[in-house]
Amino acid sequence: MERRIAEGIKKRRDALGMSANDLAQRSGVSRAMVSKIERLEVSPTAVLLGRLCDGLGITLSSLIASAESSPGLPIARASDQPVWRDPETRLVRTMVTPLNTGSKVEVVHVELPHGAEVRYRALQQPHYDQHVYVLLGELTMTYGDEEYTLRVGDCIQSRFDRAHAFGNRTRTPCKYLVVIARHP
């Protein structure tokens, strides 16, 4: 998965005509770290990937799909769905949506271990809505200055226009779906 992420960053950066310096300035991630990620010398955290994707103007799912060169099939078998693990928080992110289909909707399955939290800053280009639906456990979501506790079956909608965080303050794992819709 790290190779796919690294290739996606490089491919998107090249397509936008951006240097590593340009991406560093737009994302707030150092040029050295951008280069290390692209050369597979480090495994990026969820926070770093969020900042890089913001600098590239895409979601993580779109970044991973961009590494593929051929159009995708309309089905994503469970065994073929890309899985990424955050080395810092142990979060597990599975891209459920079939890759490279051109769809404006992405579905991501997330497993957040007990005690873990992931924070994202507001996007520079907030052209996305997200719906978060809790499948197992309890999720604390912070959206700007507001905090919500979500339990099994709860769903919340938000945009990427404010800083947000996902936390699991319980002693059990939390699983949830994130459905992301891209706006024109």
Residue 69's pLDDT is what? Answer: 60
Residue 67's pLDDT is what? Answer: 61
Residues 6+ apart with CB under 8 A from 49: 5, 60, 63
Question: What dihedral do alpha carbons 52, 130, 100, 57 form, nearest 10°?
Answer: -30
Q: How many CB atoms lie within 10 A of CB 53?
A: 23
CA–CA dist 14, 61 (Å, integer): 18
**Averaged pLDDT, 84-99:** 92
Q: How many domains does the chain have?
A: 2
Confidence of residue 157 (pLDDT cuts 50, 70, 90): very high
Domain shared by 163 and 91, yes or no: yes
3-state DSSP call for residue 139?
strand
In a domain, 174, yes or no: yes
Tens digits of residue pLDDT in 19-34: 999 999 999 999 999 9
Last residue of a domain, one of 26, 46, 66: 66
Whether the per-residue pLDDT at 68 is higher than 90: the answer is no
Domain shared by 29 and 87, yes or no: no
In a domain, 118, yes or no: yes
CA–CA dist 78, 94 (Å, integer): 9
Domain shared by 62 and 15, yes or no: yes
Domain shared by 116 and 172, yes or no: yes
pTM score: 0.81
Mean pLDDT of the chain: 91
Percent of the chain with pLDDT over 90: 66
In a domain, 20, yes or no: yes
DSSP H helical ranges for the chain: 2-15, 20-27, 31-38, 46-56, 60-66
Domain range holding 48? Answer: 2-66
Residue 66's pLDDT is what? Answer: 66
Residue 109's pLDDT is what? Answer: 97
Angstrom CA distances, 170 to 60, 83, 117, 149, 167, stand at 26, 24, 11, 11, 9
Whether the per-residue pLDDT at 168 is higher than 90: the answer is yes
Domain shared by 88 and 167, yes or no: yes
Least confident of 25-39, 69-83, 155-169: 69-83
Residue 126's pLDDT is what? Answer: 66
Whether the per-residue pLDDT at 40 is higher than 90: the answer is yes
**Averaged pLDDT, 167-178:** 97
